[in-house]
A and B are shown apart, each in its own frame.
Chain A
Amino acid sequence: MLDDQGNLSIDFLAGMTIFMIALIWISTMVPGLLITLQGKTIDYDAVAYRTGAILVEDPGWPASPPWDNLNDLQKGDIQRFGLSITKDTPNVLSLHKINRFFCSTAFSYPSDYQSRLIFSNFQYLFNISLSTFDRTINESLGDVKPDGYGHIRRYIKIKYPSNTTILAPNYLNSGVSGGLSDNTTTHVFSVQLNCTQLIWDETNVAYQINPLTEQIMVNISNLNNACIFNPCPPNLISLSSIKIYRQNPSQPFGQVREYLSSDPQFNVYIDGSNTPLPALDPPSVNVNNNVSVIFSPGFFFGMASDSSQMYVNYTFTLANPDNFFNNTFTTPYHYDYNPVRVTQPLLKEGVLEVAVW
């Protein structure tokens, strides 16, 4: 190359060309080195969408028994939050799961939620709000939204559990015991939850009464008018016990639980009191007019299966023998899909919004 003609040899040209091609190729890859450093800001909307989908369409994990049955100390067992009733009913949410999810005493923002809902190495902050259209439920969780955030809005229906109200004067002992003594001091009233029938009769989980996973509420009212001469004399009626019996194809009929002392999942309210009964102690408690029992979701899960029939037996003791609220000689009160007897589960519309930043 050491002449003054200003030409290059072909060899040099070829070599230089290849070198330049390689150089340009490498320089195009330089921006790719910076990709991992900027990942968090690109997809707020994607994280919001994924979080919304998990909340609305997924029942969470563990799914059966559902994660909302675990108490505060067991929250380490919850792997994923999800508000849907089951995976077959997307957009239909369980009221109990919603209450558990927004419970600030059980879970703390943001750490408890990030590991069970956001699933990212980067610690996203978020705000989740849920409300029904009529604003009877209006829950919110998280920080105040800043100026730029990813967002998704989902529409939902919330399933309200069933309940039944039993009017005592309709279930008197008289006239049905067929000659056996009507006037006694001990009266037993039985409510039946036939799990097999309940699960078979309604296959759509959104409308199903499932004692294994849902709240069951039984209100007995108007006890004051359930005597021969109404109203009943004062201090006549005492509630001695509430016992739960189980009938399984494979096991003998037997008692599985009795209300003895305060059980967080088995709450008894006497005469419209706001606090549950601490104990049936002394072994009977005076009742004037109402007894309400609320079985929290998951109460029956450990003791029953979908082939069981459960019986809840109330034993009332009267100070004097009288004709009273008793179905010992007729059939148990069926807690089923009869809308006259039982208020059926109801769905209510709502909206859920997730903001992530």
Chain B
Amino acid sequence: MVNSDGQLFTIEGISAGLIMLLTAYIVVNTTSIYTPGDTHISDMQLEQLGSDALRLMNTPNTSATSAESSLQKIIINNDTAQFSNTFLWFCNSTTSGTNDNLQFTADLYYRDKNTNSVNKIHLTQTRNLIGGEHPVRVTEWVHLNSNGQVPVNNREQAVLVEVLLWRD
């Protein structure tokens, strides 16, 4: 059938073309052009870790009426070194084997009653974010009474501690 009239429409031509298409499709499919990058598992584990650590820092060990949690004491006394120590003590502990090595940066958000705006105080960090990390955000509500140094307004308030956590 070699002439100049629409050779593409011969049955052999179509069948050959379709077989080529099918093969090409299957080959391309098995190599997966789209790979949904699943870093979410390590994100989930890290987020659970950070949440647990903050929640336990905010749980006093006894119920004495004046018992404050570590986190409350840290904020009232502005003891950022203690925050770093305690938080890393939690986050890097394992049941066996070598300890972990996590980095974080922590901020405190409070509401200014006079201006009704939400402002930030930076607490501490192991190092600054450079941009290549993939941090997870964990938060904890802390209740402050009106004695001692509190962020502002010197009143009983609820503040939010926000920590960005990542693995190097």
Report if A and B touch in the complex (beta carbons < 8 A): yes
B94 touches A207 (CB 8 A): no
Is residue A6 contacting chain B, with contact meaning CB distance below 8 A? yes
Please, which residue of chain B has its CB at the minimum distance from the CB of A92?
B59
In the assembly, what is the distance between CA of A27 and CA of B96, in Å? 49
When distances are taken between beta carbons in the complex, the residues of chain B under 8 Å from A157 are: 56, 59, 61
In the assembly, what is the distance between CA of A16 and CA of B64, in Å? 82
In the assembly, what is the distance between CA of A156 and CA of B94, in Å? 12
Number of residues in A with C-beta < 8 Å to the partner? Answer: 48
- B67 CB → nearest A CB, Å: 9
A27 touches B95 (CB 8 A): no
B window 27-82: CB within 8 A of A: 29, 41, 44-45, 48-49, 52-53, 55-56, 59-64
Instruction: Say what secondary structure dominates the interface of chain A.
Output: mixed
Please, which residue of chain B has its CB at the minimum distance from the CB of A1?
B11
In the assembly, what is the distance between CA of A249 and CA of B25, in Å? 80
B5 touches A6 (CB 8 A): yes
- A206 partner, pick from B10, B11, B59, B93, beta carbons under 8 A: B59
When distances are taken between beta carbons in the complex, the residues of chain A under 8 Å from B153 are: none
B95 touches A353 (CB 8 A): yes
When distances are taken between beta carbons in the complex, the residues of chain A under 8 Å from B14 are: 8, 16
In the assembly, what is the distance between CA of A156 and CA of B55, in Å? 9
Number of A-B contacts (CB under 8 A): 100
- A300 CB → nearest B CB, Å: 21
A27 touches B26 (CB 8 A): yes
Is residue A346 contacting chain B, with contact meaning CB distance below 8 A? yes
Q: A45 and B45 in contact (CB under 8 A), knowing A8-B11, A20-B18, A91-B56?
A: yes
A4 touches B1 (CB 8 A): yes
Is residue A98 contacting chain B, with contact meaning CB distance below 8 A? no
- B61 partner, pick from A1, A16, A339, A347, beta carbons under 8 A: A347
Q: A353 and B94 in contact (CB under 8 A), knowing A154-B48, A155-B52, A346-B62?
A: yes
In the assembly, what is the distance between CA of A107 and CA of B62, in Å? 32
Q: A6 and B56 in contact (CB under 8 A), knowing A49-B48, A202-B63, A347-B62?
A: no
Q: A153 and B22 in contact (CB under 8 A), knowing A202-B63, A347-B61?
A: no
A49 touches B25 (CB 8 A): no
Residues of B bordering A, CB below 8 Å: 1, 3, 5-7, 9-11, 14, 18, 22, 25-26, 29, 41, 44-45, 48-49, 52-53, 55-56, 59-64, 89-90, 93-96
A-B contact pairs, 11 of them (CB 8 A): A1-B11, A16-B14, A24-B25, A27-B25, A49-B45, A151-B45, A155-B56, A155-B90, A157-B59, A207-B62, A347-B61
> Given A49-B48, A92-B59, 15 other A-B contacts at CB below 8 A?
A6-B10, A8-B9, A13-B9, A24-B22, A27-B22, A45-B41, A152-B48, A155-B56, A156-B52, A157-B61, A207-B62, A345-B63, A347-B60, A348-B61, A353-B95
